[in-house]
């Protein structure tokens, strides 16, 4: 066996276990980074790899900029810790370089199989059949918090929906995917992760537009399907989805009356304070280590008459948005570089039609999910990002690089 084949089997296993184990996420990233850095004989091929693929260049640019931002960071310790999260993107390069494009489907199928097992455990917990010590509070997600799990569920649900609408699969396969789609979507709505639910609905529309022409009929049909899903979820899960919808309505009403002491209100307050930070350092930002410190300074200058709880929350938590995180820590340059990564993802020259569709849908889910949550600095969503960005990079390869 050569390195490529061994690594392929390792990635298959890692993709399957990822929804089931926190340790697997760390091991997967660590092994991938080690392989890429310590295979010195392949360095000449790495240069060709980076020259060939603009997505790899885009990822490297943001990583490099984050490293440079340590120069004007006051809190070096936090900066170094946060920088490590971006260094983990080296694993994307390992996936893109060592995997062959014909292996990508197998890895995606392994991930979907892992999510199927994960769902069985989740439903077992929800119906009080299983009781796991690893469960996070009252969430039905077992190894991760509900926000992170909702992103996993949104990804697998949309991938299944894409297969259902595709002409590639026969009716028997589509029946299985349809059942799995309903169970995955149901799981999404019993979780408390509104981030994944929002991303799911937006990606749902995009999936229909991918498979059918963008016209009035498609818009009406997709709207009806979304309305039906919402109605069923609202009436089937009154203690979960319905309750979150009602709370969201209440929170929006409070924000309109300048009361930010709610879940959505805290996020709205984050935008206000982030704008103050942006006005002070619009181009370069406060530095990679000062994304928490900068809002505290801004609140000292102008607390906008927020309640004490709101001020304390903003001063001690992350900014609850990947885009706000980039703007505050790295200014417009970091925001542009992040958006440039997604632009290059959407432009990937993937020959396989289904993989091309999945790359677009995955990018949509992460773009939408990054509005209310900093997905790229959370372990599980960050690892999922690494896995699929690497897979889509591998799928876009025109040639396989020489095994060294």
**In sequence order, what are the residues at sequence separation of 6 or more whose Cβ sits closer than 8 angstroms to the Cβ of residue 294?**
277, 280, 281, 285, 286, 328, 329
The whole-model pTM stands at 0.93
What pLDDT is stored for residue 134 in this prediction?
53
pLDDT in the model for residue 267? 92
The Cα-based distances of 343 to 178, 195, 244, 358 in angstroms read 31, 22, 33, 15
Q: Of 376, 334, 280, nearest to 68 (Cα)?
A: 334
Q: Residues 343-357: pLDDT tens digits? A: 999 999 999 999 999
Structure tokens at 239: 């203690």
Which pLDDT belongs to residue 81?
A: 73
For residue 338, give the nearest of 377, 299, 281 by alpha carbon: 377
At 47 the pLDDT is 92
- Measured distance CA(147)–CA(262) in Å, rounded: 17
**Which residue ranges of the chain lie beneath pLDDT 50?**
137-138, 404
Q: Is-contact 241 190, C-beta < 8 A?
A: yes
Domain extents in the chain:
3-246+320-395
């Amino acid at each position: 066996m050569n390195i490529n084949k061994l690594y392929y089997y390792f990635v298959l296993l890692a993709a399957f276990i990822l929804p089931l184990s926190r340790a697997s996420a760390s091991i997967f990233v660590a092994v991938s980074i080690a392989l890429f850095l310590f295979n010195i004989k392949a360095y000449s091929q790495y240069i060709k790899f980076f020259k060939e693929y603009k997505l790899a260049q885009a990822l490297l640019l943001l990583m490099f900029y984050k490293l440079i931002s340590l120069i004007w960071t006051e809190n070096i310790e936090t900066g170094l810790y946060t920088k490590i999260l971006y260094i983990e993107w080296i694993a994307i390069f390992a996936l893109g370089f060592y995997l062959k494009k014909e292996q990508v489907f197998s890895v995606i199928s392994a991930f979907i199989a892992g999510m199927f097992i994960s769902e069985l455990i989740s439903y077992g917990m929800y119906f009080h059949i299983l009781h796991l010590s690893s469960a996070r509070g009252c969430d039905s997600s077992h190894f991760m918090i509900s926000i992170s799990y909702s992103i996993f569920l949104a990804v697998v649900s949309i991938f299944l929906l894409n297969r259902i609408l595709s002409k590639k699969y026969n009716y028997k396969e589509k029946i299985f995917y349809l059942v799995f789609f309903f169970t995955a979507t149901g799981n999404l709505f019993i979780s408390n992760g509104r981030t994944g639910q929002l991303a799911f609905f937006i990606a749902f529309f995009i999936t229909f537009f991918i498979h059918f022409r963008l016209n009035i009929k498609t818009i009406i049909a997709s709207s009806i399907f979304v309305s039906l899903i919402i109605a069923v979820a609202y009436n089937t899960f009154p203690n979960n989805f319905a309750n979150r919808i009602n709370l969201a309505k209440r929170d929006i009403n409070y924000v309109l009356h300048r009361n930010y002491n709610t879940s959505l209100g805290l996020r709205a307050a984050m935008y206000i304070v982030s704008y103050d930070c942006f006005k002070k350092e619009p181009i370069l930002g406060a530095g990679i280590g000062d994304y928490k410190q900068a809002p505290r300074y801004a609140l000292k200058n102008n607390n906008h008459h927020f309640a004490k709880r709101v001020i304390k929350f903003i001063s001690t938590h992350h900014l609850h948005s990947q885009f706000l995180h980039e703007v505050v820590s790295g200014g417009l340059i970091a925001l542009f570089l992040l958006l440039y990564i997604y632009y290059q993802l959407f432009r990937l020259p993937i020959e396989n039609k289904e993989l091309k569709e999945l790359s677009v849908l995955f990018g949509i889910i992460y773009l939408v999910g990054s509005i209310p949550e900093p997905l790229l600095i959370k372990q599980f969503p960050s690892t999922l990002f690494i896995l699929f960005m690497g897979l889509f990079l591998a799928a876009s390869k025109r040639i396989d690089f020489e095994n060294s």
